[in-house]
């Protein structure tokens, strides 16, 4: 049988634990929030319909995201872009590359003659299969996973991932 003193002692300990949990849970969720946001970033997003893509011609599509820090929610804005290329021969096959240059992260565009990719910052050059064409970039362009939806005119869905620059190895940013 608990004495009144023990009852108050255990009661106040239990109450203290409940209050500590009530404070800790939102704190832990706040700390883990960026991880869940990164997981969301890696979900596939629809960038185009297959019918929009001209076979053999690279086309760039922006990645639009909204940013949020502890205090401010920013409006949705472009945070990068992706090159999509529909294969000219192999039916509805599409390849995707992030436009972020593996050298130092500038946006890779098309060369003046339109026959390769080229980066305006330090002249990195890449073939349309992403392989490097000079020694400036440490590796080829970074390919992204592509899914086509099961529709007559499929959605082209891409998993957008950012990779470390200045590295021979392809390491996703966490």
The CA-CA-CA angle for residues 110, 116, 149, to 5°, reads: 80
Regarding 106 and contact with ligand FES (CB under 6 A), the answer is yes
| Sheet with 44-49, side-by-side order of all strands | 44-49, 155-159, 143-148, 94-98, 77-86, 59-65
Q: Which of 60, 79, 95, 104 binds ligand FES (CB under 6 A)?
A: 104
Q: In this complex, which beta carbon is closest to ligand FES, that of residue 81 or of residue 124?
A: 124
Closest separation between CB of residue 36 and ligand FES, Å?
A: 30
Q: In this complex, which beta carbon is closest to ligand FES, that of residue 44 or of residue 125?
A: 125
Q: Which of 103, 139, 157, 162 binds ligand FES (CB under 6 A)?
A: 103
Q: In this complex, which beta carbon is closest to ligand FES, that of residue 102 or of residue 158?
A: 102
Q: Which of 121, 145, 149, 173 binds ligand FES (CB under 6 A)?
A: 121
Regarding 141 and contact with ligand FES (CB under 6 A), the answer is no
Q: Which of 117, 124, 139, 144 binds ligand FES (CB under 6 A)?
A: 124
Structure token pair of residue 120: 């305006």
Identify the H or E element spanning 6: helix 4-41
Count of residues near ligand FES by CB under 6 A: 10
Residue corresponding to tokens 């970074």 = 142
Closest separation between CB of residue 164 and ligand FES, Å?
A: 13
Q: Alpha carbon 149 to chain centroid distance?
A: 19
Q: Which residue spans within 52-92 are E strands per DSSP?
A: 59-65, 77-86
Structure token pair of residue 36: 């869940």
Q: Which letter does DSSP use for residue 173 in this model?
A: -
Q: Are 104 and 89 in contact (CB under 8 A)?
A: no
Q: Which of 53, 101, 144, 158 binds ligand FES (CB under 6 A)?
A: 101
Regarding 136 and contact with ligand FES (CB under 6 A), the answer is yes
Site residues for ligand FES per CB under 6 A: 101, 103-106, 119, 121-122, 124, 136
């Amino acid at each position: 049988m608990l004495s009144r003193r023990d009852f108050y002692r255990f009661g106040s300990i239990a109450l203290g634990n409940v209050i500590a949990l009530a404070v800790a849970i939102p704190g832990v969720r706040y700390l883990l929030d960026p991880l869940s946001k990164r997981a969301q970033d890696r979900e596939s997003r629809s960038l185009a319909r297959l019918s929009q893509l001209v076979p053999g011609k690279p086309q760039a599509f922006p990645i639009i995201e909204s940013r949020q820090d502890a205090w401010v929610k920013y409006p949705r804005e472009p945070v990068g872009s992706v090159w999509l290329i529909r294969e000219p021969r192999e039916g509805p096959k599409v390849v995707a590359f992030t436009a972020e240059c593996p050298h130092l992260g500038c946006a890779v565009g098309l060369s003046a003659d339109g026959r390769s990719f080229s980066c305006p910052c330090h002249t990195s050059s890449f073939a349309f299969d992403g392989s490097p064409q000079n020694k400036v970039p440490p590796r080829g362009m970074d390919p992204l996973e592509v899914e086509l939806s099961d529709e007559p005119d499929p959605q082209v869905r891409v998993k957008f991932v950012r990779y470390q620059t200045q590295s021979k190895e392809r390491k996703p940013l966490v």
